[in-house]
Structure 1
Amino acid sequence: MNTNRTALSVNLNKVALVRNTRHLGIPSVTRAATLCLQAGANGITVHPRPDERHIRADDVRDLAALMKSWPDREFNIEGNPYQNLMGFVREFRPHQCTFVPDSEGQFTSDHGWNLAHDADRLRPLIAEAQSLGVRVSLFMDADAPAMAAAKAAGADRVELYTEPYAAAWGTPQQDAELRRFAAAAQAALDAGLGVNAGHDLNRDNLATFIRAVPGVAEVSIGHALIADALELGYNATIQDYLRCIDIAFAPARSG
C-alpha cells in the first residue's frame, strides 16, 4: 500500500492535436492547462515531437511561462534526448524531463529503454539535465532487473510503461501484470529511484494500479483524460481522476 499520495500530471498532446487540424488557435493548450490546474491537477506534461504534429515549440514556451504562476505544480517535458528534448530542457528547465526512446516517426510511445545498449550514451545527458536542476525520469518497461541499471545510469526516477497492464485490464492476465509492475516498482524503490507511471491509464484501471503498485509518485495521463474531458469538461474530469487516486489510498474495508 502506498503512503505518499500519487500526483496527477495531465498530458496535453491531444489538445494540441485537435488544435492543429485548423488554423484558428482553438482549442488553446494554455487554456486547457489552466483549467486542469484550477481543477487540482498536480502538473502538466507535454511531449513535443520533432514533426510538431501536436505540441509545438511555442506551446512549450507558453506553458513554461504559465507554470511560473503555479509554483506548487510541476512541468514535465517528455521526449527523446537524441532528438529535440535537450533543447527544451536547456531553455526552459522544467521540474522534470522524461527520456523516451521514440523514433522520429513513431505513432506513440510503446517501449522503454534498453539500457544494456543505451546507458553509456544516456549518462552524460542525464547528468547535464540534472546540472540544470531538472529531475530525470527514464521511460522503462516493467522489468525488475532493469531498475538497477536505470539507477546506475544516473536517473532520478523511472516511468513505467503501463500499456501492457491496461491491455490486460479485465482479463485473466490482469493480476499477473499487476504483480509484474509491482515487482518492477519495488525494484526501483530498492535501487533508490522514484516511480512514475503512464500510458493508457484511465478512470477504470487507475485506482487498482496505484493500490497494487508500491510507491507510485506520479501518473501522467493524456489520451483517456482528454477524451473524458470532451464529454465531462476539464473540471469534472480532473476531479474524477483525483477521486480515483483517493480511492487507491483509502483504507480497505473489512467484512
Structure 2
Amino acid sequence: MARVACPHLVRNFHALKSAGWPDTCGGSRIKNRLIETQPGLTNLESFIPRISCAFLSILFAATICLAEPKSAVPSITKVEPPSWWTNQRINPVRLLIRGANFNGARVRTERPQTVVDNVRVNNNGTYLFVDVRINLAARPGDYPLIIETAQGRTMVPFHLNSPLDGNKNFQGITSDDVVYLIMTDRFSDGDPSNNAPADSPPDANDRRNPRAYHGGDFRGIINHLQYFKDLGVTTLWLTP
C-alpha cells in the first residue's frame, strides 16, 4: 500500500517525527491515494487524509506552545528606601528592590546624574540589591531606574529630596527633657480595626491574656498628646 504524502503546509513534519511524534501521515491506512497539491481535487475521500494530517500536526504544534511556560517580565512590589536626599555623605546608597523575575537582570539609570553598580540578585529572583551613586550636582526630582531581562523591562521609581536643615528639623535630648516610655500595644486603643493582625485567630486580641494583643496603636497615642503635655513630658520613647 502506498504511503500518504503530508500536505505541503506541514513544514516541520520531519522535525516532529525525529522528536518522537508517530508517523501518522506517512503510515496512514487510508486507501492508496497520493495527496499532493492538485487543483480541482473534489473527491471527499481524497480530502480525508489531508485533513487528518493537517489537523494532527496543528494540534501537536499547539500543544507544544501551550506546554511551554511563559516567561514573565520583572515586576516590582517594594523599593527600600524609595527616596534619598541630595548632597549626602552616604553615597552611594544601596537599594533593596523586592518583586519577581529578577534573574539575569541588568539595571541602568534614566538620567545621567545617577550611576548604578554592584547589582546582586538572589537565587529565586525575588530580591535585587543595587548601589546608586548620586552626583553632587543632582537636583531634587525623580530619578527612575530600569530593570531589564531577556523577557522584558520595568521601571523602578526613585526620588531625590531636598536636603534637610539639621538646625531646624532636629533637636537632641538633653537633661532638661522628660522621657515617657510607652509600650504601644498596652497604652490606648485608638483604632479597633487593627486590634489583631489579619487572618489571626479570634482570641489573638484578648486583654485578659498577657501574651495576646491588647489593641493599643499609634492613633491611641496621638489621641493622648495633651495628656503627655499636662504631665510635662517632652519626649516619647516608643517600643513595639
Provide the TM-score with structure 2 as the length reference. 0.19
**Which one has the bigger helix percentage?**
1
Q: Which has the higher strand share?
A: 2
Q: Which has the higher contact order (CA 8 A, sep 6+)?
A: 1
Rg larger for: 2
In the superposition, the TM-score normalised over structure 1's length comes to 0.18
